[in-house]
């Protein structure tokens, strides 16, 4: 394959012209239909989760702004969000057996094309996990409409460009990165208003060769002052049929939720993250006035009560952030908001910013921490140190109305047990309200992916971690979580309960010398489980601040009904908080836990290991602390030596 990266080569433009002519046949473009495929395909889609309203349903913001830009330029854009349409449809259907996932989205596509008769289709793909669904949508459209040109774009497309164009043959062109300018230029060229040398960010396959005009034409600060084409987005009904953001349990259940973006890019360049490679260096900012105008529109025209920021670095410019939040207060928007995507800890040291955030309606922030080990933090180029994180936690502890959560990752290259214990230690010292722990997922076009490829740390299947037996672990699928997949026997990743299993011996068998070993990747899911129970559930037993107990209760209430009603740990601890706050555990919950434990060996093994007892639960008795191997899970503040060297003292 040739990769032509010099856009000044005459040859590329000649070939581009030839390909344009072949695809568009000189037909002018006026009407463009943007399509957002379902987040996942039929093999992963879970009807019951969708029915409970717990599938992610983010508005298609990226194609929303592209549509807005094209409307300004005189085109007629329309948006078809298949993920949203599927979730809406599920609400009107009683049971999974009455629902045909594939037929549903195909019908929607057919109808939209039939009614609108577009001149071109633009399909977006944000996540690599969406690839199979994205490919099916593109291929289906082409099979039914062979003469309809398809252009694709989005984060996933940008990061695996050549492979995607090779595998999704129905895509005629790809436009990479942020496409406000590049798509506009492309359509101008197709319509004969401009010549090929004005093109940027364009790739395609022609006669089996890959061509990539890869000069960037990213929108400037001023060009970001664009409000998505909301009238095409059915924005008011997204949160009625799905979930947006992580803090939904803390706002009124009937609240209407939307998303909004004020910045593009991030000051940092963490090695596992796609943001720097996608947005380029630094952060570009919309004007505060334009953001406020959008918020007012969301409130006044669509009744939105809560927004989730899409920014990767919301607080980059602290003065601007404080100004933005103060403007929200001044304009009396009466909205709440959260930063699900995570903010950079250092900016939380600024009391003025956090104070304005809380007063302007902030109910929750995630903080990107990833690790508590200084070497790992340096290796992954995280913008923060253990001290920065501790200070941020200290500031946030003065604002208890804000629910605070960390984002942690385990399984970095060469990360030892001891390094993971550093993460446990830091989290326990920070004492945030919850810790979202993930197993590392190496994404293409990130420095960590290249490093791990070089070091032979990846499995055979795309983007997976290698294990002793070369088994592979599939992508993490957000709400369709790994734990759930393991529990349901869909992936055999966990070794919990095996004789040599890690958790069954986590505290008893690991010698000090082992602490400097790098665990085999097959243990990561069990370490994840251990950390989750230790850092989140066990911690609930120490929480004494009533406002925080209330937040946790609402969170577990939501999770135990919507997200994971069949997760025994969540049901158990929801019962624990129910007893603590309301004096008793509801009979329905007791029944539910019993049913789960009878039917699931996965949960029985774990309950036994952590000495969580169903008969005691029935009698509404709870231990003071969770034990493992006879040792309290949490040594915080008392037995630091045990905490740091868990096995030394235990034999």
Residues engaged in binding ligand SF4 (CB under 6 A): 266, 268-270, 273, 275-276, 312-313, 342, 344, 368, 383
Smallest distance from ligand B12 to CB 117, Å? 18
β-strands 282-285, 263-266: how paired?
A: antiparallel
One residue of 310, 357, 531, 571 binding ligand B12 per CB under 6 A = 310
Q: Which stretch binds ligand B12 (CB under 6 A): 191-199, 415-423, 436-444, 642-650?
A: 436-444
Q: How far is CA 533 from the centre of its chain?
A: 22
Q: Which are the contacts of 107, defined by CB distance < 8 A and separation ≥ 6? A: none
For ligand SF4, the closer of residues 164 and 448 by Cβ is 448
- Which of ligand B12, ligand SF4, none does 165 bind, CB closer than 5 to 8 A by kind? none
Smallest distance from ligand SF4 to CB 343, Å? 9
For ligand B12, the closer of residues 116 and 643 by Cβ is 116
Tokens standing for residue 525: 């899911």
Q: Which stretch binds ligand B12 (CB under 6 A): 103-111, 120-128, 410-418, 623-631?
A: 120-128
How far the first Cα of the chain sits from its last, in Å, is: 60
CB 58 within 8 A of CB 307: no
CB 50 within 8 A of CB 85: no
- Which of ligand SF4, ligand B12, none does 403 bind, CB closer than 5 to 8 A by kind? none
How many Cβ atoms are within 10 Å of 249's Cβ, its own excluded?
A: 22
DSSP E strands: which ranges in 111-250? 120-124, 150-153, 173-175, 202-206, 209-213
140 binds ligand B12 (CB under 6 A): no
Phi, psi of 545 (to 5 degrees): -70, 125
- Which of ligand B12, ligand SF4, none does 39 bind, CB closer than 5 to 8 A by kind? ligand B12
Size of the site for ligand B12 (CB under 6 A): 44
For ligand B12, the closer of residues 67 and 354 by Cβ is 67
For ligand SF4, the closer of residues 377 and 535 by Cβ is 377
DSSP E strands: which ranges in 222-361? 257-260, 263-266, 282-285, 306-309, 336-343
Query: Within positions 151 to 190, which residues make up the interface with ligand B12, using CB under 6 A?
Result: 151-156, 159, 175, 178-180, 183
For ligand SF4, the closer of residues 247 and 272 by Cβ is 272
- Which of ligand B12, ligand SF4, none does 344 bind, CB closer than 5 to 8 A by kind? ligand SF4
For ligand SF4, the closer of residues 444 and 611 by Cβ is 444
- Which of ligand B12, ligand SF4, none does 128 bind, CB closer than 5 to 8 A by kind? ligand B12
For ligand B12, the closer of residues 269 and 549 by Cβ is 269
CB 232 within 8 A of CB 280: no
Q: Which stretch binds ligand B12 (CB under 6 A): 55-63, 529-537, 574-582, 584-592?
A: 55-63
Tokens standing for residue 80: 């078809």
Residue 62: closest CA among 152, 128, 142: 152
Q: Which stretch binds ligand B12 (CB under 6 A): 272-280, 347-355, 396-404, 520-528?
A: 272-280
- Which of ligand SF4, ligand B12, none does 383 bind, CB closer than 5 to 8 A by kind? ligand SF4
Q: What is the DSSP letter of 474?
A: P
- As to burial, measured by CB atoms within 10 angstroms (0-12 exposed, 13-18 middle, 19+ buried), residue 491 is middle
CB 644 within 8 A of CB 637: no
Phi/psi class of residue 648: alpha, beta or left (left: φ > 0; alpha: ψ in -120 to 50)?
alpha
- Which of ligand B12, ligand SF4, none does 124 bind, CB closer than 5 to 8 A by kind? ligand B12
Query: Within positions 470 to 489, which residues make up the interface with ligand B12, using CB under 6 A?
Result: 476-478
Whole-angstrom Cα distance, residue 148 to residue 141?
A: 8
- Which of ligand B12, ligand SF4, none does 435 bind, CB closer than 5 to 8 A by kind? none
- Which of ligand B12, ligand SF4, none does 484 bind, CB closer than 5 to 8 A by kind? none
For ligand SF4, the closer of residues 232 and 313 by Cβ is 313
Would you say the C-alpha torsion 553, 558, 560, 563 has a positive or negative sign?
negative
For ligand B12, the closer of residues 442 and 575 by Cβ is 442
One residue of 61, 421, 558, 576 binding ligand B12 per CB under 6 A = 61
- Which of ligand B12, ligand SF4, none does 16 bind, CB closer than 5 to 8 A by kind? none
443 binds ligand B12 (CB under 6 A): yes
Query: Within positions 335 to 364, which residues make up the interface with ligand B12, using CB under 6 A?
Result: 340-341
- As to burial, measured by CB atoms within 10 angstroms (0-12 exposed, 13-18 middle, 19+ buried), residue 188 is middle
Whole-angstrom Cα distance, residue 86 to residue 149?
A: 25
Residue 606: closest CA among 628, 585, 584: 628
Smallest distance from ligand B12 to CB 480, Å? 7
Whole-angstrom Cα distance, residue 166 to residue 162?
A: 6
Smallest distance from ligand SF4 to CB 399, Å? 21
One residue of 127, 140, 210, 614 binding ligand B12 per CB under 6 A = 127
User: How many separate helices (H) and strands (E) can be counted in the chain?
Assistant: 27, 17
CB 283 within 8 A of CB 316: yes
Smallest distance from ligand SF4 to CB 251, Å? 24
Smallest distance from ligand SF4 to CB 311, Å? 9
Whole-angstrom Cα distance, residue 646 to residue 51?
A: 43
56 binds ligand B12 (CB under 6 A): yes
Distances (CA, A) of 446 to 21, 156, 414, 487, 600: 35, 12, 17, 30, 38
Residues near ligand B12 (CB under 6 A): 39, 56, 58, 61-63, 65-66, 122-124, 126-130, 151-156, 159, 175, 178-180, 183, 261, 273-275, 278-279, 310, 312, 340-341, 438, 441, 443, 476-478
């Amino acid at each position: 394959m040739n990769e032509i990266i010099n856009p000044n080569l005459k040859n590329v433009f000649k070939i581009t012209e030839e390909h344009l002519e072949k695809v568009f046949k000189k037909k002018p473009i006026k009407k463009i239909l943007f399509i957002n495929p379902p987040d996942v395909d039929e093999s992963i889609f879970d009807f019951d989760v969708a029915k409970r309203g717990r599938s992610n349903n983010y508005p298609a913001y990226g194609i929303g702004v592209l549509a807005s830009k094209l409307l300004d330029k005189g085109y007629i854009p329309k948006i078809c969000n298949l993920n949203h349409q599927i979730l809406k449809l599920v609400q009107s259907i009683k049971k999974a057996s009455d629902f045909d996932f594939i037929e549903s989205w195909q019908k929607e596509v057919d109808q939209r094309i039939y009614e609108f008769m577009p001149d071109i289709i633009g399909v977006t793909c944000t996540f690599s996990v969406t690839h199979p669904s994205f490919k099916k949508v593109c291929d289906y459209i082409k099979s039914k409409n062979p003469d309809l040109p398809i252009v694709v774009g989005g984060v996933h497309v940008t990061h695996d460009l050549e492979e995607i164009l090779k595998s999704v043959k129905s895509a005629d062109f790809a436009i990479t990165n942020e496409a406000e300018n590049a798509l506009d230029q492309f359509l101008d060229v197709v319509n004969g208003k401009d010549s090929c040398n004005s093109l940027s960010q364009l790739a395609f396959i022609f006669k089996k060769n890959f061509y990539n005009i890869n000069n960037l034409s990213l929108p400037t600060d001023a060009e970001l002052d664009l409000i998505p084409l909301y009238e095409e987005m059915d924005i008011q009904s997204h949160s009625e049929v799905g979930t947006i953001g992580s803090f939904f349990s803390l706002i009124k259940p009937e609240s209407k939720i939307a998303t909004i973006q004020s910045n593009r890019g991030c000051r940092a360049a963490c090695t596992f993250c796609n943001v720097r490679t996608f947005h380029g260096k630094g952060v570009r900012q919309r004007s505060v006035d334009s953001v406020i105008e959008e918020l007012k529109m969301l409130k006044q025209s669509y009744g939105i009560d809560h927004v989730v920021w899409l920014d990767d670095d919301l607080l980059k410019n602290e003065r601007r952030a404080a100004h933005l939040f103060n403007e929200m207060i001044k304009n009396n928007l009466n909205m709440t908001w959260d930063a699900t995507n995570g903010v950079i800890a250092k900016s939380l040291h600024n009391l003025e910013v956090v104070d304005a955030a809380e007063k302007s309606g902030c109910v929750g922030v995630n903080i990107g921490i990833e690790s508590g080990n200084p070497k790992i933090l340096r290796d992954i180029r995280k913008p923060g140190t253990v001290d920065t994180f501790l200070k941020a936690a200290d500031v946030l502890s003065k604002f208890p109305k804000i629910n605070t959560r960390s984002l942690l990752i385990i399984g970095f290259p060469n990360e030892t047990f001891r390094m993971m214990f550093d993460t446990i230690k830091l989290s326990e010292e920070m004492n945030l309200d919850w810790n979202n722990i993930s197993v590392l997922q190496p994404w293409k076009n990130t420095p960590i992916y290249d490093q791990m490829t070089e070091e032979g740390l990846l499995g055979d299947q795309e983007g997976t971690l290698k294990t002793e037996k070369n088994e592979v672990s599939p992508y993490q699928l957000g709400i369709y979580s790994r734990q759930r997949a393991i529990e349901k026997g869909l992936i055999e990743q966990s070794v919990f309960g095996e004789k040599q299993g890690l958790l069954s011996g986590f505290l008893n068998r690991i010698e000090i010398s082992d602490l400097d070993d790098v665990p085999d990747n097959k243990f990561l899911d069990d370490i994840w489980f251990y950390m989750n129970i230790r850092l989140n559930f066990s911690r609930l037993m120490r929480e004494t601040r009533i406002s925080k107990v209330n937040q946790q209760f609402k969170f577990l209430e939501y999770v135990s009904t919507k997200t994971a009603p069949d997760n025994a740990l969540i049901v158990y601890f929801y019962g624990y908080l129910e007893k603590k706050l309301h004096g008793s555990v509801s009979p329905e919950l007791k029944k539910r836990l019993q049913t789960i434990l009878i039917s699931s060996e996965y949960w029985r093994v774990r309950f036994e290991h952590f000495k969580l007892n169903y008969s005691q639960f029935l009698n509404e008795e709870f231990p003071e602390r969770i034990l493992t191997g006879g040792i309290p899970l949490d040594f915080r503040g008392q037995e630091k030596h045990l905490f740091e060297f868990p096995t030394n003292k235990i034999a």
